[in-house]
Structure 1
Amino acid sequence: YTPGDENSLHVKESDEKISIRAYNEIPEIISVAQYFKVDGIHPGVGFLSENQDFAKVANHYSTFIGPKTSVFSMMGNKIKARRIAEEAGLPVTPGSNGTLKNERDLFSIVDKIGLPLMIKAADGGGGMGIERVLHEEELLPAYKKVREQAKALFGNDSVFIEKLIYPNRHIEVQIIGDNYGNVVHLGERDCSIQRSHQKLIEFSPADISDELRDAITKAAVRLAKAIGYTNAGTVEFLVDEQENFYFMEMNTRIQVEHRVTEMVYRKDLIKEQIRVASDEELGYEQDDLKSYGFSIECRINAEDPDNNFEASPGTIKKFIPPEGENIIVDTFIPVINGRGSFEVSAIYDSLLANVIVWGKDKKSAIERMEEALNMFIIEGKGVKTTIPFHLKKIKEI
């Protein structure tokens, strides 16, 4: 853990507690792994989870619980990923075939595909390094802005263009593969409810036709097999109103919203990751996997939904998560009820907790989520949350 996280729930409940300077300090993390002679290193969902250099070093001293290091370079660069997806037979949105070399290149491609469009950082991720362009006068400022962001955030100012599919839905497919060529999918999740290109609500199954579900899941498995993918991953797609789908990107890690899939498929995906990293076969085939019921996840952020989701750091004086059948709360904040407090820092992501529920159908899952959100008590000085937003929005899924 890092300074500032010593009171976090995961630190309090850990058997061993080692302080490091930062979560992206590779040498320190490896030193800790060596000292304790760990069997495996799980990178989590952020920071180093898609870092090829970290995966290589982790594998040298232990076992990296994730995919083969070769896939990071294939899927990490969005332009290369588009090209590989096309070669595997997946549809992609119209756009530039490579990076934009200059402003002349920019205008030339825009003349071909037209507006609206998206300008994206080639090495981007996490909803960062993306600008939507609806009008011609926005084009050049957006191009310059994304290049600056890309250089600052990813160390590479290369950008590319994609046609904006709007309105759209953001549908992603969970896959997992072993070291013996077996790859299966565990259905899809709808992650369309977002702010600033970052997800707020996810649910499964998505409200799509059986024909689209069959096509989109087969496409995800086909891509995974084409690149020799192992361990857990997610293939993300955009779907338009006519149910045409387009490959967007592949996340080569477990995702925050994996719990939704676990609820409906009754599989512990972290356990499966560890099994695959231990060189075990999956031990099941696609026909063995069935989806049951309906699951929803709401991301509870320290943000003000009435003020454009502005970050809302402060001091939490009371924190009591909901409890009940088929309700899960993932959080790093310990229960606070009358004693103590917890500082919500502006340093890290604004996520406070994930609330995940399961119901026998969509109606019962929505009712259970409403119950859970109404039970959730977060009080303090200066801290506002997205709970009011979620209570309104889940009625629309």
Structure 2
Amino acid sequence: MPFTPQEPPESRELPELSTEAQPILCPSRLEGLREDAPVCRVRTPAGDEAWLVTRHAEAKRLMNDERVDRYHPDPPAAPKYIKNPLVDMLIGDDLEDTRTGRARSRSLLTPNFTARRMERLRPKVEALAGAMVEDLAARERPVDLHAHFSLPFSLRVICELIGVPEDDWQRCATLLARIGRTDPKDGTSTGPEALFALLGEVATRKRQEPDEDVLSHLCGAGVPDEHAGMLAGGVLFAGLESVATHIDLGVVLLSTNPDQRDAVIKDPAVLGGVVEEVLRSAKRAGATLPRYANEDIEIDDVTIRAGDLVLLDFGLANFDERAFDAPEAFDVGRSPNRHLTFGHGMWHCTGAPLARMELSTAFSVLFSRLPELRPAVPVDELWTQGGTMIGALAELPVTW
């Protein structure tokens, strides 16, 4: 494959991306880039150059373009978004193997996340959420919603779905937090090997005592224990903090839009619209996992060269006024709501049905039990954690 090395990072001044702490729900400083051009040259937190895709139509187009993938002819030399061992593992050095491996992983995981299966799980998840909100309600206010509901709820649901024993839940959460860190000073993070090994050991036991969970399904499909552990680890990483963060930010959005919140309380049929609008508008910016051009691509008067890093910013795309009427407004009745939070096409998130079910359950249970649930501090004092891939809240003090 043709490959043109980048110029040295010091060669030109470019807008810089960051993983530093940010105020929640506030316009991103990158939104000006979206108005300037749909595809912009930027510098990543790792110090490399990349193409940032800022608009909805162009992001959607590139997600349908097979010339963009997680392949690079020389992964160690590939430009990086962040320096993170898990992200580095996603980059393949053989294009056909990369495509085949992604398709195989999707075929193995998709049956575990069908909408029908999620509906079968819903009563159990609702019971869990109900018990957890009662525990929350009994605590002295203000109470940290993130620590006492959002994160443990998300952790328990996804661990049970995957088949992780309860004794290992907290260890998984600790390992995932370390994997997801990226120190803004040196860009380092803990590798995922310990998590993969833990889940591989669980897979070994599942072969002797299978159940209705992801690891049992993978073992039954002939996936080796080590690979099953890697696939399950990827699901955990993608589904834990991201769901917890959207629960937190959804509570903030609904509490600061009381007319929208009251509509949900009065009419549960509105809940689906709530989930989609929270997914669309909870994050204003944030580049997704890196992809690379495997051929030269002409798009909107720029040429993305083979080997270039491509970053699709779904947060920026979800506020693109070319795709959404009044994107600044939080509107639970928005229809259609074609947000890109779960990606699109061959890059659509396999776990989307699970995330939707978790979010709808969480919002329904929280606001039916605590209709006045709201942050206990001014919203402008709430910031995301710096130095993390997800950009989650460290805590969310609430009252009611």
TM over 0.5: no
**TM-score (normalised: structure 2):** 0.25
* More strand, by proportion: 1
**TM-score (normalised: structure 1):** 0.26
* More helix, by proportion: 2
* RCO comparison, higher one (Cα < 8 Å, 6+): 2
